[in-house]
Amino acid sequence: MKKKSRLQLLHQYYSYTGFYGFLGSSLLKAIPLIVLFIGGLLAIHFYVIDVNVLLSKMTETFPAFGILSVFFISESILGLIPPEIFIAWSSKSATPIFHLSLLALLSYAGGVVSYFIGKAITKIPSVTEYLEVKMAKHIRNTRKWGGFLIIVGALLPIPYSLTTMTAGIINYPLKSLLFFGTLRLLRFYIYALAIFNIVS
């Protein structure tokens, strides 16, 4: 009997453990969020206030450092504010690509911070027990799928910091996290292609 290749074995493993089903459901959940964001942006633009004016006002009113700081904090603590808002803001800055790149790097760095928060949490038994109940499914999935789950978290509009925090909780290898997490940078440029066109 011919021995299966590593790729075939991986495919078999991810099939058996339900990764493809999880990926499909994640994509289905992501699409409405993207549509909702774009729809909301267009609704504000046409019925409330010109989005270009709003973003320009943000750029004029708030210093870039302040906005970037808020973004970094958000990306480090469960991704509370959608990154798409900041991507739209960067399009109206004096140097859009530069600010977009800063956002991408800060998001990547925020994921690393979340990873270490996850590791620190494991040293507090009461908090660990609480999170292991609240995040049981996410922890279980990360243990099963590791890098592939980080890729999904990096690319799809789901809180990336939640994925990296979970990785820290289960002591996932930092080198692997840093490697797979680089796709987070790609996500910002891909989303910017669409968002920059909408708010241009």
Q: Are 76 and 117 in contact (CB under 8 A)?
A: yes
Q: Which pLDDT score, from 0 to 100, does residue 23 have?
A: 63
Proportion of the chain above pLDDT 70, given as a percent: 72
pLDDT tens profile 111-147: 999 999 988 988 887 776 776 676 667 677 677 776 7
Residue 200 has pLDDT above 70, yes or no: no
Helix (H, G, I), strand (E, B) or coil at 189: helix
pLDDT tens profile 9-65: 666 766 777 666 666 666 666 667 667 766 776 777 677 777 667 777 777 788 899
Domain-wise residue ranges, the chain? 14-199
Answer with the residue of higher pLDDT: 44 or 69.
69
Q: Are 81 and 70 in contact (CB under 8 A)?
A: yes
Instruction: HSE, CB side, 13 Å, CA atoms: give it for residue 59.
Output: 18
Residue 188 has pLDDT above 80, yes or no: yes
Q: Which pLDDT score, from 0 to 100, does residue 107 have?
A: 96
Q: Are 173 and 17 in contact (CB under 8 A)?
A: no
Q: Which pLDDT score, from 0 to 100, does residue 103 have?
A: 96
Q: Which pLDDT score, from 0 to 100, does residue 48 have?
A: 75
Residue 183 has pLDDT above 90, yes or no: yes
Q: Which pLDDT score, from 0 to 100, does residue 31 have?
A: 67
